[in-house]
Amino acid sequence: MEFFSFDLVNFIKTIGYIGIAFIIFAECGLFIGLIFPGDSLLFTAGFLASQSYFDITTLTAVIFFFAVAGNMTGYATGKSFGPKIFSRERSRLFRPEYLERTTAFFQKHGAKALFFSRFFPVIRTITPLFAGAGNMSYKGFIIYTIFGAIAWGAALPLLGFTLGKTIPDVDKYLVPIIIAIVFLSLLPTIIHAIIERRKKTSS
């Protein structure tokens, strides 16, 4: 329990705006971002803003800017190295046909994928990389990156801020709220994995 409450709260207080900026940047475009708890971090930072540890306007601006910057870095990385990786010979994980499928997917579903991936751990980290590798239109990429950054980067901090301002002693309920956020963010990925496993088993 301490990991979700005391430790996380004090961790965010310690790292401040600079640490939050780095984590958001990494989670939105670098592979090391896969280890960071973005959703719970944003909610808790918003809650701390309601307790005057952060300014909510500055906080959301920092999150938005570095969420966009992270995605742009991920896109550039995918565009630069994706084709080279997928074209390697004798590779089970990276083959030219996989790149063709990725390209077709982002040409058809790129906008929706970029927007909704913001709300799912792991997926929001790798989506910009695959968008770059799949040669998604840069203009479309930027537009939906911005929309997604606004929705994700504002919704969770503002939820934490609003609850912190309106519910008396909300800090007593912080642990179950954060656990619920983590669970809900992981649930779609878990469901998808179960469905895919059943399909493989039945085939």
Pair 117, 105: CB distance under 8 Å: no
pLDDT score of 87: 60
Pair 48, 93: CB distance under 8 Å: no
Pair 27, 124: CB distance under 8 Å: yes
The residues spanned by each domain of the chain are 3-202
pTM: 0.74
Pair 182, 119: CB distance under 8 Å: no
For residue 51, is it left (φ>0), alpha (ψ between -120 and 50) or beta? alpha
pLDDT score of 4: 43
Read off the amino acid at residue 49.
A
pLDDT score of 2: 39
- Return d(Cα 192, Cα 62) in angstroms, integer: 32
Q: Which two tokens stand for residue 99?
A: 């790149």
Per-residue pLDDT of the chain (203 residues; tens, 9 = 90+): 334 444 788 889 999 999 999 999 998 888 776 667 678 889 899 999 998 999 999 999 999 999 999 999 999 988 887 666 656 555 554 554 545 565 566 666 667 777 877 887 777 888 888 888 878 888 888 998 999 999 898 988 999 999 888 876 666 666 677 777 766 666 655 665 566 566 666 65
Q: How many CB atoms lie within 10 A of CB 25?
A: 23
- Return d(Cα 134, Cα 7) in angstroms, integer: 39
